[in-house]
Amino acid sequence: MPLLAQLDTLQILDEVVVAATRQEKRLGNVAIPVQLIQRKQIQQAGSMRLRDILQEQPGLQLVTGFGAGLQMQGLSPEHTLILLDGQPLIGRTSGVLDLSRVSLSGIKRIEIIKGPSSSLYGSEAMAGVINLITDNGVKPQAEISLRYGVADTKRGWGIPFSSQNLEHTEADAQFSFRVGKWNVKQSNNYLYADAISYRPFSQDRVPRPLSRFASQSVVQGLIGKKIDLRVLTRLSQDLFRQQFSVQNNGVTTASFGRERNNEVVFQPALTYRHSASLTISTKAYITKYTGDQELRFSSPGDSIYKDRFEQRLYRLENQLDIKKGSTSIVAGLGVQLEQANSTRYDDFSNKKENSVRYAFAQWEVKLGHKWISVLGARFDHHTIYSAALTPKWALRYQPNARLSFKGSIGQGFKAPDFRQLFLNFTNTAAGGYSVFGAAQAIDVINSLNQLGQIAERKPDFLKLSALRPEFSTGANVEINYSFTVPITTQLSLFRNDINSLIDVRHVATRLDGSQLFSYLNVNRAFTQGIELAVRWQLYKSLSVNLGYQYLETADKEERSRIDQGKEYIRDVSGAIRLMNTNEYAGLPNRSKHQAQLKLTYEPAIDRFVNLRVFYRSRWTIANSNGNTVYDHYDEFANGFLQVNLSGGFSINSHLVFQAGIDNLLNYQDVFYQPNLQPRTVFVLVRLKMPVKRTSTIQQSKI
Amino acid sequence: MRFLLVVTAMLLFCFGCNKEKLPAKVDGRSFAIQVSGPITTVRNLPADTIIGFNSIGQPVGSGRYSFFSLERGQWVPNADSNTNRWDLAFAGTVIRVNNQTSGPGLGGAFVQTGTFESLLRVPTDSVFRVDNHPVSYAIARGSGRAWYTYDGPTNLLTPIPGRVLVVRTATGKFAKVEILNYYRGGITPSASAPDSVKIKDQRFLHFRYTVQLNGSGEF
């Protein structure tokens, strides 16, 4: 458990985790690999954004494009489920859930599960699961914090209140109190930032001020003695503005853009604790995401581009927990309805719908003191595509206190999403192209063909049919070893084999040469790698955490074409020759090496300094040498190193001061990482105050 | 003396293996032809370069082909288009051979997978295709079909490595041709380059070829 620099190993193993087994379990007793990020670690990093925290975790890779997405075990963002108290967050663009959107206000810890977890969570939990656990607010207090940061792309160091700089201000207020038997926790977060974006394919900076607001409340209490009621509500809104002008052949076009995203989450849960061995819980989940984009040209005044996307998810779930002796059983049933309307589909007024009925069960048994076995499976029945059965088996063996082994093998799946089924998108810019969802492509292309608009239908057109879910088989092995000196090490190996991966393929060409794309189940791919984590407590006050991931990926068809001598490459000198297997770069946008280093100096409980370094090696951007595979001579983004520094101290038990520098080396890459913010200096003040337990005191007097 | 030796050696080197022809011009744009042993390399040959945009905003050229004689290693004026003097004609991604709907010659072509160097003779079972303008061409148009891939999202065209055009010239001789690049200067713009660069620098063909003038199919 190298992540938790601040805690002793023993304490860590006592931490409770939920997501791994859908039951509260001590981390030390979980057979499935889990990483935990605690509130303290989030606070020390000085950021309230999920993006910033996950960026620093070993084995997790942030990728850009449609926001900050998460690449886990080499699988793309659409294959990792992001949960809030066990229920999925929605509102993905092109499969990416933008992690900058998610505020960590009111979140007490983050659980990271790697490896397929569809046996518990169903679709999308192919690479793994990120579960955000909200705070119940058992301890009544008020906490207010204010963060101010400043950066300057040109000068390198931001000067407050100057005109060229980029400033951000984040205010956060959390209150927890008790009303009778009820715990209430209210968290609010507001961020305003002078963010910038770069105009596509240029170095022109465009101001893109953004504001993000999030409000979350949790009400939890007992009804009678055995029933626990918990209601989570979360609202968030993001607003972006953008104003820029484009010069083309001496004509200047000024445009104004606005984007607004809203998210609502409502999650009531009833838990009935019948006895120590039997618990029944019922959860409802309602969530809605709306994204509105508008682009207006100042002249002509009527040229408005509007895009609207609305997604809703309703879910009802019932879960039974039985614990008896060394055995525990989890079983559940659920129904889900997902709906979407979008201007990106054929018509906004046409509602797209998919309903799912599912059942899952898990049987966990302890065999003596050394073995734990967990066997589980889930069945998902969909109305618009084929059903999925996903089993998983995990085993933990701990021969002694210093050594433990964990192994698991399981299936993951991802159902086709609405975009892959219904998208109807045309880019009219130079070289124009269109993308159609699989459910529409055949009809659209056939009717275009009748109008004489199609120049050719590619062989892939004939393969268009109903999309099937993507399936994967994943295996994970983890070895934990603690040396006598305070060094703990963790070595993990993983491999995911994905079948029927959905890919965008060129299926037809219009008469004007523009290409038509659609989604097909085509590829078989694998990702495999090694992850190493070392934690070394050098001195009582100084600790080092080191993380490293080595990743290999491949499209199996591409690899077999290379092995059969069917692929050629054009190397740096321009010479062409047969491609060697070792020149293959695998799936795009993957880095072979990734590393983190964290140094923490904590001389006292209320004082700390930490230095976090993370590295990502180069990754492929485009297939620039004309063959159909990514190889070493294609276009790569440079590998880079980012360093974040932060430190803090408390004046007394109420007041904490913190300051830091994000992106200390001021690494910037306008083309490939336009969202990477320049060196930012920030200060943060946090005020904590206990709230009088008025009602409880009165009760105790009586 | 030593100086003279060096100069003579340099001159010998230059004339012995490299025959640099003066840069020629097509539509005011210069291109270069370099002969090195049996291989002739043509650079920056304009192939109906972009002159503007049509009514729906697509980049267009003037619609004129660049005619080229592989046998003589020269650009051929458009006035000679209806003669046997040219072997290949280039306009954007279209390459035409001198036969049937394209010209009066004996031309033909097909696409062979493999490297330029490893193609030592025209296979005996070869079938040369001819143009049926505008329906089909001996060297097929379209991404991934003959010699190039075009990527819509990045708007870039790249020759496929390992594709050799086996050509029968207007007079029935054999040649092998490899398209090297489609952009001015012989360097494909970066995926992140502005569209204006991708448009203005495209349709400048770079290719190399070997023609067997003795009539055999051995290269």
- Asked if the Cβ–Cβ distance from A621 to B191 is below 8 Å, we say yes
Q: Using one digit for the tens of pLDDT, what is the confidence trace for A487-531?
A: 999 999 999 999 989 988 889 888 877 888 999 998 899 999 999
Contacts of A430 in chain B (CB under 8 A): 57-59, 155, 195, 198-199
Largest CA distance in chain A: 90
Decide if A280 is inside a domain.
no
- Asked if the Cβ–Cβ distance from A506 to B198 is below 8 Å, we say no
Distance CA B48, CA A83 (A): 55
pLDDT range class, residue A265, cuts 50, 70, 90: very high
Q: For residue A416, which of A538, A521, A562, A511 has the smallest C-alpha distance?
A: A521
Q: Which domain holds residue A622?
A: 538-601+611-637
Q: For residue A617, which of A648, A646, A586, A645 has the smallest C-alpha distance?
A: A586
DSSP state of A692: P
Residue B10, SS3?
A: helix
- Asked if the Cβ–Cβ distance from B162 to A578 is below 8 Å, we say yes
Task: Say if CB A227 and CB A220 are below 8 A apart.
Answer: no
DSSP state of A195: -
pLDDT at B16: 44
Mean pLDDT over A269-290 rounds to 96
How buried is A661 (Cβ within 10 angstroms: 0-12 exposed, 13-18 middle, 19+ buried)?
Answer: buried
Decide if A83 is inside a domain.
no
Taking 80 as the threshold, does the pLDDT of residue A405 lie above it? yes
More confident residue, A436 or A163: A436
Residue B17, SS3?
A: helix
How buried is A109 (Cβ within 10 angstroms: 0-12 exposed, 13-18 middle, 19+ buried)?
Answer: buried
pLDDT at A700: 37
Q: Using one digit for the tens of pLDDT, what is the confidence trace for A349-398?
A: 889 999 999 999 999 999 988 999 999 999 999 988 889 999 999 999 99
Query: How many C-beta atoms surround the C-beta of residue A18 within 10 A?
Result: 17
The pair phi, psi for residue A153, each rounded to 5°, is -65, -35
The separation between the first and the last C-alpha atoms of chain B, rounded to the nearest angstrom, is 41
Buried b (16+ CB within 10 A) or exposed e, A359-392: ebbbebebeeeeebebebbbbbebebbeebebeb
Taking 60 as the threshold, does the pLDDT of residue A699 lie above it? no
Distance CA A341, CA A343 (A): 7
Residue A201 touches partner B, C-beta closer than 8 Å: yes
Decide if A124 is inside a domain.
no
Which residue is it, tokens 């040219």?
B86
The pLDDT tens digits along chain B (219 residues) read 455 555 555 544 444 444 445 457 777 788 999 999 999 999 999 999 999 887 766 788 998 999 999 999 999 999 999 999 999 999 999 999 999 999 999 999 999 999 999 999 999 899 999 999 888 899 998 888 899 988 877 889 999 999 999 999 999 999 999 999 999 999 889 888 888 888 899 999 999 999 999 999 999
- Asked if the Cβ–Cβ distance from B152 to A432 is below 8 Å, we say yes
Closest-CA residue of A relative to B135 is A455
Decide if A588 is inside a domain.
yes
Looking at the DSSP bridge assignments, the partners of residue A495 are: A475, A528
Distance CA B201, CA B184 (A): 5
Task: Say if CB A665 and CB A633 are below 8 A apart.
Answer: no
Taking 90 as the threshold, does the pLDDT of residue A321 lie above it? yes
DSSP state of A96: B
- Does residue A654 share a domain with residue A619? no
Taking 70 as the threshold, does the pLDDT of residue A620 lie above it? yes
Spatial neighbors of A256 by CB under 8 A, at least 6 apart, are A241, A242, A243, A295, A296, A297, A298
B159 upstream amide cis, omega within 30 of 0: no
pLDDT at A249: 56
Contacts of B196 in chain A (CB under 8 A): 248
Q: How far is A517 from chain B (nearest CA, A)?
A: 9
pLDDT range class, residue A697, cuts 50, 70, 90: very low
Q: Using one digit for the tens of pLDDT, what is the confidence trace for A635-653?
A: 899 999 999 999 999 988 8
Contacts of B114 in chain A (CB under 8 A): 568
Looking at the DSSP bridge assignments, the partners of residue A214 are: A189, A236
The segment with the largest mean pLDDT, out of A205-209, A238-242, A572-576, is: A238-242
Distance CA B218, CA B202 (A): 34
* Nearest neighbour of B188 by CB, restricted to A517, A624, A671: A624
Q: How far is A306 from chain B (nearest CA, A)?
A: 21
Q: Which of residues 418-437 of A touch B (CB under 8 A)?
A: 427-433
Mean pLDDT over A280-306 rounds to 86
Residue A566 touches partner B, C-beta closer than 8 Å: yes
Q: For residue B158, which of A30, A327, A276, A627 has the smallest C-alpha distance?
A: A627
Contacts of B195 in chain A (CB under 8 A): 201, 429-431
- Asked if the Cβ–Cβ distance from A567 to B162 is below 8 Å, we say yes
Contacts of A564 in chain B (CB under 8 A): none
Instruction: Give whole-number Cα distances, A80 to A109, A274, A407, A523, A588, in Å.
Output: 18, 34, 20, 19, 17
* Nearest neighbour of A626 by CB, restricted to B116, B148, B154: B148
The type of residue at A150 is V
* Nearest neighbour of A671 by CB, restricted to B59, B162, B192: B192
Q: Is A337 left (phi over 0), alpha (psi -120 to 50) or beta?
A: beta
Mean pLDDT over A457-464 rounds to 85
Task: Say if CB B191 and CB B154 are below 8 A apart.
Answer: yes
Residue A506 touches partner B, C-beta closer than 8 Å: yes
How buried is A556 (Cβ within 10 angstroms: 0-12 exposed, 13-18 middle, 19+ buried)?
Answer: middle
Q: For residue B50, which of B62, B66, B65, B35 has the smallest C-alpha distance?
A: B62
Residue A359, SS3?
A: strand
Rg (CA), chain B: 18
Which residue is it, tokens 């303290």?
A40
The pair phi, psi for residue A182, each rounded to 5°, is -100, 130
Distance CA A569, CA A639 (A): 23
Taking 60 as the threshold, does the pLDDT of residue A421 lie above it? yes
pLDDT range class, residue A13, cuts 50, 70, 90: low
Number of domains in chain A: 2
pLDDT at A242: 84
More confident residue, B76 or A25: B76
What tokens appear for A665 in the block? Answer: 């080396």
- Asked if the Cβ–Cβ distance from A576 to B162 is below 8 Å, we say yes
pLDDT at A133: 94
Residue A8, SS3?
A: coil
User: Mean pLDDT of all residues in chain A?
Assistant: 89
- In percent, how much of chain B has pLDDT > 70? 89
pLDDT range class, residue A575, cuts 50, 70, 90: confident
pLDDT at A246: 67
Taking 50 as the threshold, does the pLDDT of residue A308 lie above it? yes
Taking 50 as the threshold, does the pLDDT of residue A573 lie above it? yes
pLDDT at A300: 65
- Asked if the Cβ–Cβ distance from B156 to A622 is below 8 Å, we say yes
Residue B198, SS3?
A: helix
Residue A74, SS3?
A: coil
**How many residues would you count in chain A?**
702
Rg (CA), chain A: 26
pLDDT at A16: 78
Q: For residue A124, which of A174, A88, A98 has the smallest C-alpha distance?
A: A88
Distance CA A66, CA A270 (A): 36
Q: Using one digit for the tens of pLDDT, what is the confidence trace for B38-87?
A: 999 999 999 999 998 877 667 889 989 999 999 999 999 999 999 999 99
Spatial neighbors of A626 by CB under 8 A, at least 6 apart, are A570, B148, B149, B158, B159, B160, B161
Which of A511, A624, A673 to mutate to probe the B interface, most B CBs <10 Å? Answer: A624
pLDDT range class, residue A76, cuts 50, 70, 90: very high
Task: Say if CB A172 and CB A105 are below 8 A apart.
Answer: yes
Strands A80-84 and A128-134, bridge-based pairing: parallel
pLDDT at B144: 83
Q: For residue B176, which of B126, B103, B105 has the smallest C-alpha distance?
A: B126
Task: Say if CB A56 and CB A644 are below 8 A apart.
Answer: yes
Contacts of A458 in chain B (CB under 8 A): 144
Distance of CA A433 to the CA centre of its chain: 29
Task: Say if CB B195 and CB B217 are below 8 A apart.
Answer: no
pLDDT at A696: 44
- Asked if the Cβ–Cβ distance from A514 to B194 is below 8 Å, we say no
ipTM of the complex: 0.80
- In percent, how much of chain A has pLDDT > 70? 93
Task: Say if CB A670 and CB A153 are below 8 A apart.
Answer: no
Give the CA count within 13 Å in the CB-facing half-sphere of A456.
15
* Nearest neighbour of B161 by CB, restricted to A431, A433, A627: A627
Spatial neighbors of A617 by CB under 8 A, at least 6 apart, are A591, A592, A593, A594, A639
Residue A52, SS3?
A: helix
- Asked if the Cβ–Cβ distance from A635 to B115 is below 8 Å, we say no
Q: How far is A432 from chain B (nearest CA, A)?
A: 7
Query: How many C-beta atoms surround the C-beta of residue A558 within 10 A?
Result: 22
Taking 70 as the threshold, does the pLDDT of residue A285 lie above it? yes
Contact residues of B toward A, CB < 8 A: 56-59, 113-116, 142-144, 148-156, 158-163, 178, 180, 188, 190-196, 198-199
Taking 50 as the threshold, does the pLDDT of residue A612 lie above it? yes
Instruction: Give whole-number Cα distances, A211 to A100, A199, A513, A531, B87, in Å.
Output: 12, 20, 41, 37, 63
Angle at A85 between CA A81 and CA A90, to 5 degrees: 45
Decide if A648 is inside a domain.
yes
Residue A121, SS3?
A: helix
Q: Using one digit for the tens of pLDDT, what is the confidence trace for A527-546?
A: 999 999 999 999 989 999 99
